[in-house]
Amino acid sequence: MAQRLMAGNINWQSILKQYGWTVQQPAQPVDKPASEAKPAPTTKPAPQPAPTTKPAPTTKPAPQPAPTTKPAPTTKPAPTTKPAPQPAPTTKPAPTTKPAPTTKPAPTAKPAAGLHAFEQQVIDLTNNERQKAGLAALQLDSQLSSVARKKSEDMLAKNYFSHTSPTYGSPFDMMKQFGVSYRSAGENIAKGQRTPAEVVKAWMESPGHRANILNKDYTHIGVGYVENGHIWTQMFIKK
């Protein structure tokens, strides 16, 4: 047997089998391909809700303060260069409920020489208003009445109605032209009133004309009336 073992190219398996030895082949490792790792399941991200954009808060316009109403400017009494207002012919004065004043009106004087009856009545009514206000009566100045009458005639002839005459200028210039001297003076004019009562009432309802009638400084008066057109002029002076 030893000789057999030493021979080359010995078939060891057949020899061992003769002696009852079992020869097992060594297991051959099998190279199995590595199991492919399954990719981890991709987790889909939960859908995020689209961000809701809040609209920018609308800015309310700041409330504007209500426009303050400016009071209408107070009108100054009409200067002596504005005509007296014409009372509406259809308007009758409301009946007065006040008792008659205890003071008696000054008696109506007869018209002075060269004075129209309406001119005298205007003087009397004017002095009645002054008496109610506790003022002294105005004295008639015949020269001043002549100037006032010329002023009314000039307004008729030149077809104007204004304190400023295109012929004589202002009332004060006109007085000086006719030689009337004074320390202070004023003038009222009116047109359209048919009676002395109407014209004096219209003047008393106008602040500027009323101020002339009730001026405590005046001492003398002149009145000129032209029937054609019913044009009236009152002139006042302080001597």
Is there a domain that residue 154 lies in? yes
Is there a domain that residue 106 lies in? no
Is there a domain that residue 68 lies in? no
Is there a domain that residue 22 lies in? no
The predicted-structure confidence for 68-86, as pLDDT tens digits, reads as follows 333 333 333 444 434 444 4
Look up tokens 């009152």; give the residue: 234
Is there a domain that residue 83 lies in? no
How confident is the model at residue 111, as a pLDDT?
Answer: 54
Contact 118, 196 (CB under 8 A): yes
The predicted-structure confidence for 155-164, as pLDDT tens digits, reads as follows 999 999 999 9
> pLDDT tens digits, the chain, 239 residues: what are they?
444 444 455 555 566 556 654 444 444 333 343 444 344 444 444 445 444 444 444 444 444 433 333 333 333 344 443 444 444 333 344 433 344 444 444 444 455 556 899 999 999 999 999 999 999 999 999 999 999 999 999 999 999 999 999 999 999 999 999 999 999 999 999 999 999 999 999 999 999 999 999 999 999 999 999 999 999 999 999 99
Q: Is 181 left (phi over 0), alpha (psi -120 to 50) or beta?
A: beta
Look up the CATH number of the domain holding residue 189: 3.40.33.10
Q: Angle at CA 194, nearest 5°, toward 188 and 200?
A: 40
Instruction: Please give the torsion angle defined by the CA atoms of residues 96, 100, 104 and 106, in that order, rounded to the nearest 10 degrees.
Output: 0
Count of the separate structural domains present in the chain: 1
Q: Is the pTM of the predicted complex or chain greater than 0.85?
A: no
At a CB cut-off of 8 Å and minimum separation 6, what does 88 contact?
none
Is there a domain that residue 133 lies in? yes
Is there a domain that residue 225 lies in? yes
Is there a domain that residue 32 lies in? no
Phi, psi of 3 (to 5 degrees): -65, -40
Residue 213, SS3 per DSSP: helix
How confident is the model at residue 95, as a pLDDT?
Answer: 39
Question: Domain span at residue 150?
Answer: 117-238
